[in-house]
């Protein structure tokens, strides 16, 4: 009897601790000049009871802010003082959360509800049992609170290039893990020829929940939680934004040193177990990784590097072509429109992100990295109803087909050229190399190295790389056709590279 009383008391305490957002509103602020931008940035960086769903980074940006009822007058006064246009987007945030998940969770795992970490992991175990020949499970890392960060590899044959999908790194973005599990299911079960093509000709490494502590906290306590759950020394504020915690160009803009900020980057790069251990696992366990994708919400964007600067990435034109192919496939399903571009130039400056890190590090072969920001554009925000999981996921699979098909097309071109060069006999007799030159190029900076990699990847029909530089200071030997000399010299000038000839 005493145990029952204690249990009831504890349950009552837990229920009372869960944060509710009754009558909280989402306001949209529009930033029109530099003074307004600085004011909104200061508002975001201070702990004044607001929750920012967007992060102020540029003039012209629209920022969604969750405001409690007792702060309505304050935000209106702020708007009047600085002249920032303001409007109500959502009248009652709690109503959205109440409608987000079905009242009765389905008995079997599916895509009509949002699930907890343990449910997702249990489903992964069922998949591993059902598809033992092509799937294998892995533990990519461990969270601060000791939870495993699990993933699944799908591989139908040896020799495939690898793609990583990292999902649910931000706790409140439930649609990201739901979509990741749907992608796993489609890669294994779909009979669509295009899905079978990408499933069987790519090795997939999918991590559905990168921030399990945060996900559980959104289920038990605060639905709007974004960060990790590690306490911060010297502060009562908990957690770090894991997608500002990666090492490449850490704290170079769009991140905060304030532990109470939603974009707090941590005391140093890779301070968070979630980012550090999963990155180490990727580097240590995937030999031929070519593509890195991060699933997020919301806003309907496909974003490429860079996040820390508006300067274009070395192979940005190619990255944009791939994004365009993906956007076209997505729109063909339900008409959903995605915006494409680099993170900093299209959305906002954000340094220390996962896709910048894996794209920017010189000790890997990744030249293609993206962030998907899923549905919607603000009607529901992070509280996207579970009824939209399946349509969002269907679109995403089509988006993956779109950009992998574009990459595959280039590889086919390379394969044809390689076969022709190896045929010998009459073909070989007809191939002449009059006035071709071989140049030696030695990159001295990471940007120069990335530019060379981009040239090798994007221009296989024009330039023949005899050797490839893998690190700064290493040499590349490149054969250039007479008709491509001007293009090659322009490339050298633009990237401040020097070349010598054999």
Lowest mean pLDDT among 139-153, 194-208, 454-468, 473-487: 454-468
**By C-alpha distance, which of 348, 301, 302 is closest to 59?**
348
What's the distance, CA 55 to chain centroid? 17
- The residues facing 204 across adjacent strands are 154, 163
The pLDDT, as a whole number, for residue 408 is: 64
Residue bearing tokens 């890669």:
187
Residues 203 and 161: beta-carbon distance below 8 Å: yes
Does pLDDT of 422 surpass 60? no
CATH number, domain 25-98? 3.30.70.340
**By C-alpha distance, which of 354, 241, 362 is closest to 308?**
354
Count the helices and strands in the chain (H runs, E runs). 16, 16
Backbone phi and psi for residue 173, each to the nearest 5 degrees, phi listed first: -90, 70
The pLDDT, as a whole number, for residue 210 is: 99
Q: Span 344-352, mean pLDDT? A: 95
Three-state DSSP class for residue 407: helix
Helix (H) or strand (E) holding 161: strand 161-167
CATH level 3 topology of 437-501? Alpha-Beta Plaits (3.30.70)
CA distance 416 to 407: 15
CA distance 381 to 431: 59
Residues 466 and 477: beta-carbon distance below 8 Å: yes
CATH number, domain 105-412? 3.40.630.10
Bigger pLDDT: 456 vs 256: 256
Q: Which residues neighbour 222 within 8 Å (Cβ) at sequence distance 6 or greater?
A: 18, 19
Percent of the chain at pLDDT above 90?
71
CA distance 431 to 172: 59
Grade residue 458 by pLDDT with cuts at 50, 70 and 90: low
Taking the model in full, what pTM does it have? 0.80
Q: Do domains 25-98 and 437-501 have the same CATH topology?
A: yes
Please give the positions annotated as active site. Answer: 373
**By C-alpha distance, which of 205, 201, 155 is closest to 180?**
205
Where are the chain's structural domains? 25-98, 105-412, 437-501
Per-residue pLDDT of 376-416, as tens digits, reads: 999 999 999 999 999 999 999 999 999 898 776 554 444 44
CA distance 285 to 295: 21
CA distance 262 to 395: 29
Measure the CA dihedral 414/418/419/420, to 10°.
100
The pLDDT, as a whole number, for residue 462 is: 60
CA distance 432 to 98: 71
Bigger pLDDT: 401 vs 364: 401
Buried b (16+ CB within 10 A) or exposed e, 245-284: bbbbbbbbbbbbebbbbbbbbbeebbbbbbbbbbbebbee
Per-residue pLDDT of 19-62, as tens digits, reads: 999 999 999 999 999 999 999 999 988 867 899 999 898 899 99
């Amino acid at each position: 009897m005493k145990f029952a009383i204690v249990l009831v008391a504890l349950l009552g305490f837990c229920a009372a601790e869960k944060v509710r957002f009754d009558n909280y509103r989402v306001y949209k602020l529009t930033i029109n000049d530099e003074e307004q931008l600085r004011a909104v940035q200061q508002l975001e960086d201070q702990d004044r009871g607001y929750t920012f769903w967007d992060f102020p980074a540029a003039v012209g940006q629209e920022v969604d802010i969750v405001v409690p009822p007792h702060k309505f007058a304050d935000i209106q006064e702020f708007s009047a003082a600085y002249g920032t246009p303001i409007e109500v987007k959502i009248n009652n945030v709690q109503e959205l959360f109440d409608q987000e998940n079905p009242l009765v969770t389905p008995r079997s795992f599916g895509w009509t509800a949002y699930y907890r970490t343990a449910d997702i992991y249990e489903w992964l175990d069922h998949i591993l049992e059902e598809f033992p020949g092509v799937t294998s499970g892995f533990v990519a890392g461990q969270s601060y609170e000791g939870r495993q960060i699990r993933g699944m590899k799908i591989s139908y044959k040896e020799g495939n290039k690898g793609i990583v999908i990292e999902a649910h790194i931000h706790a409140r973005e439930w649609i990201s893990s739901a979509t990741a599990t749907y992608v796993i299911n489609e890669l294994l079960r779909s009979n669509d020829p295009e899905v079978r093509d990408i499933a069987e000709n790519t090795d997939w490494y999918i991590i559905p929940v990168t921030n399990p502590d945060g996900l559980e906290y959104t289920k038990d306590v605060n639905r709007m939680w974004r960060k990790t759950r590690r306490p911060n020394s010297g502060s009562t504020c908990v957690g770090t934004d894991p997608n500002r915690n990666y090492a490449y160009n850490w704290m170079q803009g769009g991140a905060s040193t304030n532990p109470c900020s939603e974009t707090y980057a941590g005391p140093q790069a890779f301070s968070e177990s979630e980012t550090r251990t999963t990155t180490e696992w990727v580097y240590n366990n995937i030999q031929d990784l070519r593509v890195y994708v991060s699933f997020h919400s919301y806003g309907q964007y496909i974003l490429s590097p860079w996040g820390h600067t508006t300067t274009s990435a070395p192979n940005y034109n190619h990255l944009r072509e791939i994004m365009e192919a993906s956007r076209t496939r997505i729109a063909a399903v339900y008409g959903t429109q995605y915006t494409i571009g680099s993170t900093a130039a299209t959305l906002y400056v954000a340094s220390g992100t996962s896709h910048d890190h894996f794209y920017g590090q010189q000790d890997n072969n990744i030249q293609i990295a993206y962030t998907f920001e899923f549905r919607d554009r603000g009607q529901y925000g992070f509280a996207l109803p579970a009824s939209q999981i399946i349509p969002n996921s269907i679109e995403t699979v089509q988006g993956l087909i779109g950009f992998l098909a574009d990459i595959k097309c280039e590889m086919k071109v390379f394969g044809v050229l390689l076969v022709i060069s190896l045929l010998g006999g009459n073909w070989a007799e007809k191939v002449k190399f009059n006035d071709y030159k071989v140049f030696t190029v030695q990159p001295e900076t990471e940007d120069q190295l990335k530019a060379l990699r981009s040239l090798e990847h994007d221009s296989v029909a024009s330039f023949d790389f005899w050797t490839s530089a893998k690190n700064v200071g290493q040499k590349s030997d490149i054969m250039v056709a007479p008709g491509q000399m001007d293009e090659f010299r322009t490339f050298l000038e633009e990237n401040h590279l020097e070349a010598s000839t054999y």
